[in-house]
Amino acid sequence: MAIDLRQLAAAVPDSVVERVRSARRVLAVGHESPDADALGAAIAIGLLVEALGGRATVAAADPLPDLYRFIAGSDAVRTDPEPDVAYDLVVLCDCGDLSRVGSIQERNPALFADTPLLTIDHHASNDGTGGLAWIDAAAAATCEMVALLAVRLGVPLAMGEGRLAAALAAGIVMDTATFAHPNTTARTLQVTAALVEAGAPLSEISRRLYRTKPDAQLALFGRVLGRLQSLAGGLVIASTLELADLAATGARSEHSEGIIDLLAQSETAEVALLLKEKEDATRLSVRTKPGGVDATALCGTWGGGGHPRAAGASLPLPLAEAVAAVLPEAERYARAVTR
């Protein structure tokens, strides 16, 4: 018997359903430095709009990492809107706030200022400002939400010979680490089961995202793990990724994906930190244990956000200064945990 998600899909706000249904020319945008959830959700929105008779452009400010090019439809993702197109809706997918759209907004200020915005996101730190917003912090991934939107719109999850289901499943697998993270709920599993039933190749998606790495990426992991620090009696584990590491290994910035999750496997650490050197800033990634430090609170110190167990921030500081600022604060949070 087919899996019926209609009861779960009742959670999708009517205003969101009608906004997507009525749109004729849509720009679906994932966040900068796109990952599988942002891409899968944006590609899926594009497919839904086209299934309803509209036209859609899928975009992200930065070029796609090779890791995600197996997702059908990723080859059509642009770094800017199509020129001379009058969009009637911009859908922001998996963007914790408007700034996460990145440089595509800076390059197209009039479009983002004058076009109705719809935000679909699962980050707890998202305050929903900037137009119509559907925020569901209980969702494991934005793709989980878009799957329910598809059901409300009456679009079969199997559309496009399974392309819709595969794109949505990729985002869920990414943001749950193949259902290992505590954000995985019964609803997440129900939605994923329906996507598998609709044609999503779950084991292949998992292999592509979590068990396939180029040699340069493995070498990069080795350099970062080689400078691992244990602080506060093991309550904090931290490392850094320097620009020199990329040059030495031949790796690219996107190859840092997954390092923070390795650090988070520490048996003792309440807080795992990765600080990545950028040209003019330092990017902080944080993971925490269930029932302990709220990662959004820690990252909020520097204007960041995300989820209680996984969050990030950008510090306008050189790497060494960022390390000096972040480590004592992480220790303070970790020491305050009582178990």
Domain boundary among 179, 210, 241: 210
Nearest to 89, CA basis, from 7, 157, 138, 17: 17
Show pLDDT as tens, one digit a residue, over the chain (339 residues): 689 999 999 999 999 999 999 999 999 999 999 999 999 999 999 999 999 999 999 999 999 999 999 999 999 999 999 999 999 999 999 998 888 999 999 999 999 999 999 999 999 888 887 789 999 999 999 999 999 999 999 999 999 999 999 999 999 999 999 999 889 999 999 999 999 999 999 999 999 999 999 999 999 999 999 999 999 999 999 999 999 999 999 999 989 988 999 999 999 999 999 999 999 999 999 999 999 999 999 999 999 998 899 999 999 999 999 999 999 999 999 999 998
3-state secondary structure of 314: strand
Name the pTM for this structure. 0.87
Question: Which bin fits 235, alpha (ψ -120 to 50), beta or left (φ > 0)?
Answer: alpha
Co-location of 36 and 180 in the same domain: yes
Q: Please tell me whether residues 317 and 200 are part of one structural domain.
A: no
Inter-residue contact 39 to 171 (CB < 8 Å): yes
Asked if the structure places residue 310 within a domain, the reply is: yes
Rounded to whole angstroms, the Cα distance separating 337 from 273 reads: 17
Do 262 and 164 reside in the same domain of the chain?
A: no
Q: Is 170 in the same domain as 266?
A: no
Dist CA 153 CA 79 (whole Å): 28
pLDDT, one tens digit per residue, over 81-114 is 999 999 999 999 999 888 899 999 999 999 999 9
Q: Are residues 122 and 162 in the same domain?
A: yes
**How far is residue 288's CA from residue 7's CA, in Å, rounded to a whole number?**
33
Residue 323 lies in a domain: yes
Residue 59 lies in domain: 6-210
H or E segment and range at residue 52:
none
Q: Which CATH number does the domain housing residue 43 bear?
A: 3.90.1640.10
Q: Do residue 174 and residue 154 come from a single domain?
A: yes
Task: Note whether residue 1 is domain-resident.
Answer: no
If asked whether residues 134 and 252 sit together in one domain, one would say no
Note whether 227 and 156 are same-domain residues: no
Whether residue 123 sits in one domain with residue 43: yes
DSSP H or E run through 113 = helix 109-114
What kind and span of H or E run contains 256? none
- The number of distinct structural domains making up the chain is 2
Crossing angle of helices 163-176 and 142-153, in 10° steps, is: 150
Which residue from 112, 75, 111, 81 is spatially nearest to 95, judged by alpha carbons?
Answer: 112
**pLDDT tens digits, one per residue of 170-208:** 999 999 999 998 899 999 999 999 999 999 999 999 999
The SS3 of residue 129 is: coil
